[in-house]
Chains A and B, each alone.
Chain A
């Protein structure tokens, strides 16, 4: 079974631009979660989607948004990029039907650099 895939793997943007990252979950998984990893803040939860609905959201500004499609693929968008948004963005998928008790499986991440 194919794992979680994320595109693109690397991205370079400039301040003020916006960016869209994509995540395709493991086949059959309906929950997709997003995490930001930085050297200073570590791994932080952004949000989670299940059946096209956002079920939980972390403490990030409104510039960070996401959505999920009917095939469970998910995208996250960051508008008005700031230097501090440079990070590894990880997507994880799980079955989702058990709510918070599922094991999450992670993709390889998208490394975003903001210049």
Chain B
């Protein structure tokens, strides 16, 4: 069965520091998709990034970057030069192509606190 683990429960940083969030996943499917979502105090989950299992190219989008490594089943996410507005809970999620319909399996989340 699919599983997503976020070992870090809470990270506290000072503004402008970089923050790296770890995510490890388990799946038997050969085609799958990985996501990062942000949940600010308002509660709504905000989509950040998505990768498919065939594309291990790491990219940078603004202050966000990610490191996808199939060999270690990891999909880590980095916020560069953190800002107070980045304070939120961040969730890593997995969807499998063979699953019927849309189903996301989420990790437990990592709370990020950025102090001014």
- A and B physically associate: yes
List residues of chain A with CB under 8 Å of any chain B CB: 31, 33, 35, 42-45, 48, 50, 55-56, 58, 88, 90, 92, 94, 96, 99-109, 111
Contact partners of B35 in chain A: CB under 8 A: 103
Number of interface residues of B (CB under 8 A): 27
B68 contacts chain A at the CB level, 8 A cutoff: no
Measured CA separation A96–B43 after assembly (Å): 24
B57 contacts chain A at the CB level, 8 A cutoff: no
Contact of B91 with A56 in the complex, beta carbons under 8 Å: no
List residues of chain B with CB under 8 Å of any chain A CB: 33, 35, 37, 42-47, 50, 52, 91, 95-109
Most chain B CB inside 10 Å of its own CB: which residue of A50, A96, A103, A107:
A103
Instruction: Name the distance in Å between A36's Cβ and chain B's nearest Cβ.
Output: 11
Contact of B45 with A90 in the complex, beta carbons under 8 Å: yes
Chosen A-B contacts, 20 in total, with CB atoms closer than 8 Å, are A33-B101, A33-B104, A35-B104, A42-B106, A45-B104, A45-B105, A55-B100, A55-B101, A55-B102, A56-B100, A56-B102, A90-B45, A94-B102, A100-B33, A100-B96, A101-B97, A103-B47, A104-B104, A105-B47, A106-B45
